[in-house]
Structure 1
């Protein structure tokens, strides 16, 4: 299967960024079930850029329009992952689309695997201090989905971390959850980067109970990241 053709097909389905991860970079990652990656050699990581205008409505708190946008982008990602999986299968290979946003373990806020970890391994972006994937084109203003496959796709290379000494997300976090610890590649655990329980409490007990929100989202660290605003400045 031609890698570039598959990427172009994904973009035609509404995806903004597409990269391929060699799953050898992710061996040992926690998955549900534990053998999820068995039989697969590649992961197609896809991102959809969030609307700048919607993200700019976040000012310390999520907004109803952000909650709606978040949900619609997840639906778009799931649809694109399904179509990409079908294209791979029609070419004679295995493919498994993983939902963009489905919590399986509520106690630890875990899904099938970390889409962010896959995106970092695929070169969509680097792992920011907030644990979000930060792309050079859109900052953390992206949502992610993953398709596992055994198709012999050409893998992409990870990107260098470019957060540097920036403290914007740390200073803005309403839960005081970001530790302001940098990493060259990825953190040994999410607790190295975050006071994770503070983040979970904030999105579940504060944001999700706000009128007209009803979702465990916040978005403040997405809003303030300087990388998210670079595209607008470059276009000016």
Structure 2
């Protein structure tokens, strides 16, 4: 299966960026169920860029238009993942699209698989201090989805972390949740990067209960990241 043609198809299906992760890079990652990755060799990671004018409406809290946009982009990701899965299967492979945003374990805020971890392994971006995937073109102003695939593909390489000494997300976080700890590739645990319970409490008990929000989002660290504020030309 031609990996470049597959990625081009993913973009035609609605993705802004598509990359391929070797699942060997994710060996040992927690999944639900534990055997989720069995029988699959790769994951196609799709990113959809968020609207800059909508992100710019965020100040120290989410806005109703951001909440609506967030949900609409999740629906677009699910549709694109389904189309890519069908395309892989039509070419003789196996594919399993995972939902873009579905919490299975509410206590630990976990889903089937971390789309952020897949995106980092696929080279869509690096893992920022906020735990978000930071794209060199779009910063953290992206939403993600993953498709597990068993087919002959060529994986992409991860990117070097470029957060450096920047403290924008740490300084702006309304929950004081970001520890300002950098990593070369990925954090050993969420707690290494975040006071995770502070983040979860803020999005669930503060933001989700704001008027016309109704979902667990914040968006402040997305808005302030300098990698998203100034767009860069896509890599050749």
Secondary structure of 2:231's partner? Answer: helix
Q: CA deviation at 1:233?
A: 11
How big is each residue's C-alpha offset from its partner over 1:123-181, in whole Å with a ceiling of 9 and x where there is no partner?
A: 00000000000000000000000000111111000000000000000000000000000
Q: CA deviation at 1:27?
A: 0.8
- Name 1:199's counterpart in structure 2: 199
Unaligned residue ranges in structure 1 (runs of 5+): none
More displaced 10-residue stretch of structure 1: 6-15 or 195-204: 6-15
Q: CA deviation at 1:86?
A: 0.3
- Name 1:53's counterpart in structure 2: 53
How big is each residue's C-alpha offset from its partner over 1:30-72, in whole Å with a ceiling of 9 and x where there is no partner?
A: 0000000000000000000000000000000000000000000
Q: What stretches of structure 1 move > 6 A for 4+ residues in a row?
A: none
Q: How does 1:164-203 map to 2 (within 5 A)?
A: 164-203=164-203
Secondary structure of 2:124's partner? Answer: coil
> Within 2, Cα distance between the matches of 1:151 and 1:75?
26
Secondary structure of 1:60's partner? Answer: coil
> Within 2, Cα distance between the matches of 1:93 and 1:218?
38
- Name 1:92's counterpart in structure 2: 92
- Name 1:64's counterpart in structure 2: 64
- Name 1:216's counterpart in structure 2: 216
- Name 1:137's counterpart in structure 2: 137
Matched, 1:108 2:102: no
> Within 2, Cα distance between the matches of 1:135 and 1:233?
11
Q: CA deviation at 1:182?
A: 0.2
> Within 2, Cα distance between the matches of 1:6 and 1:44?
9
- Name 1:148's counterpart in structure 2: 148
TM-score, reference length from structure 2: 0.98
TM-aligned CA distance change 1:232 to 1:39, over 3 Å? closer
- Name 1:37's counterpart in structure 2: 37
> Within 2, Cα distance between the matches of 1:199 and 1:46?
25
Unaligned residue ranges in structure 2 (runs of 5+): none
> Within 2, Cα distance between the matches of 1:143 and 1:232?
18
Q: CA deviation at 1:22?
A: 0.4
TM-score, reference length from structure 1: 0.98
Q: CA deviation at 1:21?
A: 0.3
Q: CA deviation at 1:230?
A: 1.7
Q: How does 1:112-127 map to 2 (within 5 A)?
A: 112-127=112-127
Secondary structure of 1:231's partner? Answer: coil
> Within 1, Cα distance between the matches of 2:29 and 2:200?
21
> Within 1, Cα distance between the matches of 2:233 and 2:199?
30
What is the number of equivalent residue pairs in this alignment?
Answer: 234
Question: Is 2:137–2:233's contact at 8 Å kept on the other side of the alignment?
Answer: no
> Within 1, Cα distance between the matches of 2:174 and 2:19?
32
